[in-house]
Structures are given as structure tokens and as C-alpha cells.
């Protein structure tokens, strides 16, 4: 069963790739480590709402678009 954290991570990964960014580039824009972005995308870490907001801004999408579930 896929968890909500994994679904969020896959969504972030999809929009990051659409934006043409590597994990380290997104991390730099958001002010996080690339390892933390990797853990979010794999569903191993649950980002705070503030972090999700920063990621959405960096990717140029609405927060709601990152939650397709």
C-alpha cells in the first residue's frame, strides 16, 4: 500500500522533473539539503506545511497540486 507521504514525494518529483530541476537545484531554491529532498521524494520524510509551501513556490505550482490524493 502506498502511503500519503510516498504519494506526496512522487508528486514533488514529477513537478521537479517538469521544471527541469535536479534535486540539488530544488534544495538550493528551498534552502534545504539535497539529501532531505531525496528523503521527501522517497516518502521517508514528512515535510512540514511550511516546507511544502516553499517547494510549491520553487516549482511554480499551487500547494494543492502537490496533493493529488
pLDDT tens-digit series, residues 21-59? 999 999 999 999 999 999 999 999 999 999 999 999 999
- Whether this prediction's pTM lies above 0.85 is answered by yes
CATH code of 54's domain: 1.10.260.40
Average pLDDT over residues 5-13: 96
Residue 16 belongs to what domain range?
Answer: 4-66
d(CA 28, CA 4): 25
**Is 80 exceeded by the pLDDT of residue 10?**
yes
Domains in the chain, number:
1
Residues in contact with 63: Cβ distance below 8 Å, sequence separation at least 6, in sequence order: 52, 53, 56
Q: Which conformational region is residue 43 in: left (phi greater than 0), alpha (psi within -120 to 50 degrees), or beta?
A: left
pLDDT, position 68: 77
Amino acid at each position: 500500500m502506498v502511503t500519503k507521504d510516498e504519494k506526496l514525494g512522487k508528486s514533488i518529483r514529477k513537478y521537479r522533473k517538469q521544471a527541469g530541476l535536479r534535486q540539488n537545484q530544488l534544495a538550493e531554491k528551498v534552502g534545504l539539503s539535497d539529501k532531505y529532498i531525496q528523503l521527501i521524494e522517497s516518502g521517508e520524510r514528512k515535510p512540514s506545511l511550511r516546507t511544502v509551501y516553499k517547494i510549491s513556490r520553487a516549482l511554480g505550482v499551487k500547494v494543492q497540486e502537490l496533493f493529488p490524493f
